[in-house]
Copies of this chain bind each other. A is one copy, B any other.
């Protein structure tokens, strides 16, 4: 490995000057700079980020913890966080907690002292554990508001309300809610919202599930809905909704005439590309870039900053979801 000292020696300057060439280019004479750079890439010098991190007291590494890496829901978030973070000169380390609360905090412990901050996406851990982590380093949560932690969340309630009203307007009175996955914090909230809104409008909502958030689980659920005699369904998830539609198509049921289908999120952005579904589009990409920006803001702040100053300015950002009306409803 070729070090800064090697470059300095080769260029005939001190290692301090060589260091400045890369860190503070303007603090060094134009010609010396040229010489050093020349020497550097002749020797193939690459800065050792570990040493730099130790000297500067920060690693330039940020963490993102998601419950499921392969989830279509988080894909745009992950992508956006990565863009945002790299744009600010940080590196991103993405970890999959596999939906397991204990592993979330286990991950936080492992990452401690290695990253400058962490984003927890839809964390399932107890708030206390997250707060504990937040005292160790900057933390931003997504879809989870905790008193002392910056957060950005998507307001599905608004879109869901709009959706329920749409269904009522369309004449539906009995509406199925097909929920999932088991253990999801947001599932209950969605059901309750639907029940309230629809109940207030003289309708009734039947809760089915929970089912796995997969196409086949959706397909298998169709008969259940048909037996219950429902003609409108709100699916937890676009995969489930498409399973329903797929099964409906194969048994000759018409959408939306025989069964109106809607979903709480869509899959347009993530390469599945099934646009005509009536769904609540959640701006996960936007959420990701906002969360990324918030974390960078915290992490970039000189570590000497008075902790109290940071504690007093907790942000809770809420992004609106929008109802996209397709042909399935």
Contact = CB atoms under 8 A, between A and B. Distances in A.
B47 A113 contact: yes
Interface string A125-160: 000000000001000000000000000000000000
A63 to B, nearest CB: 9
A14 B275 CA distance: 65
Contact of A46 (B48, B72, B113): B113
Contacts of A217: 273
- Interface size, A (range): 35 or more
Interface in A42-88: 46-51, 53-54, 59, 61, 68-72, 75-76, 78-79, 82
Interface stretch (A22-30, A92-100, A170-178, A201-209): A92-100
What does DSSP make chain A's interface, helix, strand, loop or mixed? mixed
A275 B216 contact: yes
> How often does this chain occur in the complex, in copies?
2
Nearest to A219: B274
A109 interface: yes
A91 interface: yes
A14 to B, nearest CB: 21
Interface in A216-232: 216-217
A54 to B, nearest CB: 5
B70 A274 contact: no
A48 B217 CA distance: 45
Interface of A: 1, 46-51, 53-54, 59, 61, 68-72, 75-76, 78-79, 82, 91-96, 109-114, 136, 212-217, 239, 246, 249-250, 270-275
